[in-house]
Amino acid sequence: MRCLVTGGAGFIGSNLAAELVRRGHAVCVLDNLSTGRRSNLAGVDCEFREGDLRDPGAVSGAVRGCEVVFHLGALPSVPRSIADPVASNEVNVGGTLNVLQAARSSGVRRVVFASSSSVYGNAPEQVKSEDLPPRPLSPYAVSKLAAEKYCQVFTGVYGLETACLRFFNVFGPNQDPDSPYAAVIPLFTRLAMEGRPPVVNGDGGQSRDFTFVRNVVEGNILAASAPGASGLVMNVACGGSVTVDTLAREILRILGREDLVPVHGPVRAGDVRHSRADITLAARVLGYTPLVPFEEGLAITVAALACPPGRPGPV
């Protein structure tokens, strides 16, 4: 089938595009390269279109002729959304509306939307299931929740099949350690490689369901064809829990830098305390099960960050 991956030059999108091509699908990537990189698609035989989700013409052109749209394009990061809530809304909500409009007009069979565990906010339940009321704590979380609702409305009103996947703390190769909004795993890895201790926001007791990117890629591909997925919102994660302090120490162990001791900084605005997924619904509807456990995925990721392609490894 022919697929569109919005945000396909980004971290998750490039991994998804590569796997779709590997499975024999024709892939078009739409990305404005604001956070994505062409180098993430090196060796991936796909069509690339540079364009912005806020441009209806660019979106319509990319969607045309596609059977499935994987909508991963977004302006990521909770801190970024707090600094600029208007941009988050324009890209994540307005851009999603453009994708849905184009998909409906072009006769797309299904749109798979990348949502976020951030919509749960600080729900008191440590394990997050899809029937919990959303409690977003940041403009980013609000934008993802609004986009979910648009997807469901397009299914209910217009008959466009949509499936929304709430990702939990995805990590893996192609994550950018140099961004000012870098995710915690590439950030901790880069600091340790530079001989500097990881800086943990808060006391380090906050926990996350860290999910290796291959698991999320598999969830997306399953959601593109599962008969009962349309109109649903589903968690995609490992169903486990790791504290940030434990994560930091495990990265130091992998890199052989146990001489470094994590230091603690202030709590970051918009952060939730605990986030762990109930993946029962995705298992039942999609047949989803995590393919790569946290420990294995972390070892792969740290190795990739420590020795990126074209650069000699550490001596």
Burial of 87 (0-12, 13-18, 19+ CB in 10 A): middle
**128, part of any domain:** yes
Is 38 inside a domain boundary? yes
Active site residue: 120, 140, 150, 288, which one? 140
pTM: 0.91
In tens, the pLDDT along 67-98 reads 999 999 999 988 899 999 999 999 999 999 99
pLDDT of residue 180: 61
Pair (257, 144) in one structural domain: no
Coil, strand, or helix at residue 111? strand
Same structural domain for residues 261 and 232? no
Q: Are residues 192 and 263 in the same domain?
A: yes
Band of residue 309 on the pLDDT scale cut at 50, 70, 90: low
Q: Are both 55 and 98 inside the same structural domain?
A: yes
Domain assignment present for 314: no
DSSP state of 93: I
Sign of torsion over alpha carbons 89, 92, 96, 98: positive
Helix runs in 71-163, H state only: 78-83, 85-89, 95-106, 139-158
pLDDT at 126: 84
Residues 6+ apart with CB under 8 A from 38: 9, 48
158 a catalytic residue: no
296: domain CATH number is 3.90.25.10
For the ranges 3-17, 228-242, 262-276, the lowest mean pLDDT is seen at 262-276
Q: Are residues 156 and 258 in the same domain?
A: no
Pair 69, 157 in one domain: yes
Same structural domain for residues 155 and 264? no
What domain range includes position 53? 2-171+211-236
